[in-house]
């Protein structure tokens, strides 16, 4: 089972959008896919479930609650997983309560529990896509320990560029200390504007530094906002749109 985490400590770089649309591209390709939403904001959950995200149960808050309060009658992980309206695509939904659980989870050193949980699902899914908060906190670290692939969104911003090397170094440290299987599979260039000089120059500089920039870039498009509003990944909403084709092409170039 391939387990990928989309990670960047900077907010607003499109983590949830990229996670959901690449997961949708995988599902469209016939893979059985789980999206695990570890961000208390729950953007990936809302993207996949729409208004139902506000009332869906059981959710990740309950999952972590039973982890903290051991019970002989705990629900199996599969009961926290929900079908989405899209074929082959499932979600383990987030909940705002997980933000309050973080300190207790850290104190009880539950950092490896997510990896154990995903190991239980090996026979149920072909791929797991993990959305993370914009911080290197307990949830993000748990995801990096559980995953075997890491993708880093880059939005052609000078501040993002300054942080990239630090992010890659941090992932390397986690691989050395906690998860030998973890690998940075690539940097995803997002909101790319091919006619603007600055984005072109910044991407060229990253490539010249030898950083693993993936060859398929994602364009800036109003269709993404429409996709969010309708709670339909763009690859399903408008499959012939340029951006939908870019997500499918990006999925196709990811390591197997």
Break the chain into its structural domains and give their ranges. Answer: 2-253
**CA–CA separation, 202 and 229 (whole Å):** 31
pLDDT band for position 156 (50/70/90)? confident
42-56, 91-105, 144-158, 175-189: segment of lowest average pLDDT: 144-158
**What are the tens digits of pLDDT across the range 189-243?**
998 877 777 778 888 888 888 899 999 999 988 889 999 999 999 999 988 889 9
Within 10 angstroms of residue 196's Cβ, the number of other Cβ atoms is 12
- Mean pLDDT on 130-149: 95
Q: How far apart are CA 130 and CA 247, in angstroms?
A: 17
Percent of all residues in the chain with a pLDDT value above 90, rounded to a whole number: 73
204, burial (CB in 10 Å: exposed 0-12, middle 13-18, buried 19+): exposed
- What is the pLDDT at residue 164? 85
Pairing of strands 82-83, 89-92: antiparallel
Average pLDDT, whole number, for the chain?
92
The candidate with the shortest Cα–Cα distance to 19, out of 193, 251, 223, 214, is 251
Q: CA-CA distances (angstroms) from residue 177 to 101, 164, 170, 183, 227?
A: 24, 20, 11, 13, 39
Which of the residue ranges 84-88, 137-141, 156-160, 188-192 would you say has the lowest mean pLDDT? 156-160
Average pLDDT over residues 49-53: 96
The two structure tokens encoding residue 153 = 């969104």
Q: pTM for this one?
A: 0.94
Provide the pLDDT confidence category of residue 72 given band limits of 50, 70 and 90: low
Q: Is the pLDDT of residue 158 over 90?
A: no
- What phi and psi, each to the nearest 5 degrees, are found at residue 197? -70, -40
What is the distance between the alpha carbons of residues 203 and 213, in angstroms, rounded to a whole number? Answer: 8
Query: Which pLDDT score, from 0 to 100, does residue 255 have?
Result: 85
pLDDT, residue 182, reads: 96
Q: Which residues pair with 154 in a beta bridge?
A: 189
Q: Which of 46, 16, 22, 27 is nearest to 89 (CA)?
A: 27
| Omega prior to 40 cis, within 30 of 0 | no
Q: What is the chain's alpha carbon radius of gyration, rounded to the nearest angstrom?
A: 18
> Mean pLDDT over residues 178-198, rounded?
88
More confident residue, 72 or 95: 95
8 A C-beta contact, residue 93 and residue 2: no
pLDDT at position 33 over 90:
yes
How many Å is the maximal CA-CA distance in the chain?
Answer: 60
What mean pLDDT do residues 56-85 have?
90
Q: Which of 190, 242, 177 lies closest to 8 in space, CA to CA? A: 190
Q: Does the structure show a pLDDT above 80 at 47?
A: yes
Cα first-last separation, the chain: 10
| CATH homologous superfamily of 2-253 | P-loop containing nucleotide triphosphate hydrolases (3.40.50.300)
CA neighbor of 120 nearest in space, from 92, 101, 139, 99? 92
pLDDT at residue 253, rounded to an integer: 95
Give, as one character, the DSSP assignment of residue 135.
S
Residue 162 predicted with pLDDT over 90: no
């Amino acid at each position: 089972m391939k387990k990928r985490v989309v990670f960047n400590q900077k907010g607003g770089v499109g983590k949830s959008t990229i996670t959901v649309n690449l997961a949708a591209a995988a599902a469209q390709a016939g893979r059985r896919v789980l999206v695990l939403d570890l961000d208390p904001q729950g953007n990936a959950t809302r993207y996949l479930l729409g208004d139902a995200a506000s009332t869906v149960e059981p959710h990740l808050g309950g999952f972590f609650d039973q982890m903290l309060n051991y019970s002989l009658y705990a629900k199996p992980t599969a009961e926290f997983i929900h079908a989405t309206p899209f074929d082959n695509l499932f979600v383990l939904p987030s909940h705002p309560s997980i933000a309050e659980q973080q300190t207790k989870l850290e104190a009880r050193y539950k950092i490896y529990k997510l990896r154990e949980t995903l190991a239980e699902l090996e026979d149920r899914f072909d791929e797991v896509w993990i959305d993370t908060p914009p911080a290197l906190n307990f949830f993000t670290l748990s995801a990096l320990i559980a995953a075997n692939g890491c993708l880093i969104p880059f939005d052609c911003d000078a501040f993002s560029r300054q942080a990239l090397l630090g992010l890659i170094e941090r992932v390397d440290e986690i691989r050395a200390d906690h998860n030998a299987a973890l690998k940075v599979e690539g940097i995803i260039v997002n909101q790319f504007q091919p006619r603007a000089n600055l984005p072109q120059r910044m991407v060229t500089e990253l490539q010249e530094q030898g950083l693993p920039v993936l060859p398929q870039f994602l364009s800036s498009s109003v269709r993404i906002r429409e996709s969010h509003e309708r709670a339909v990944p763009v690859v399903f909403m408008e499959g012939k749109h340029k951006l939908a084709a870019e997500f499918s092409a990006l999925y196709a170039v990811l390591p197997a």
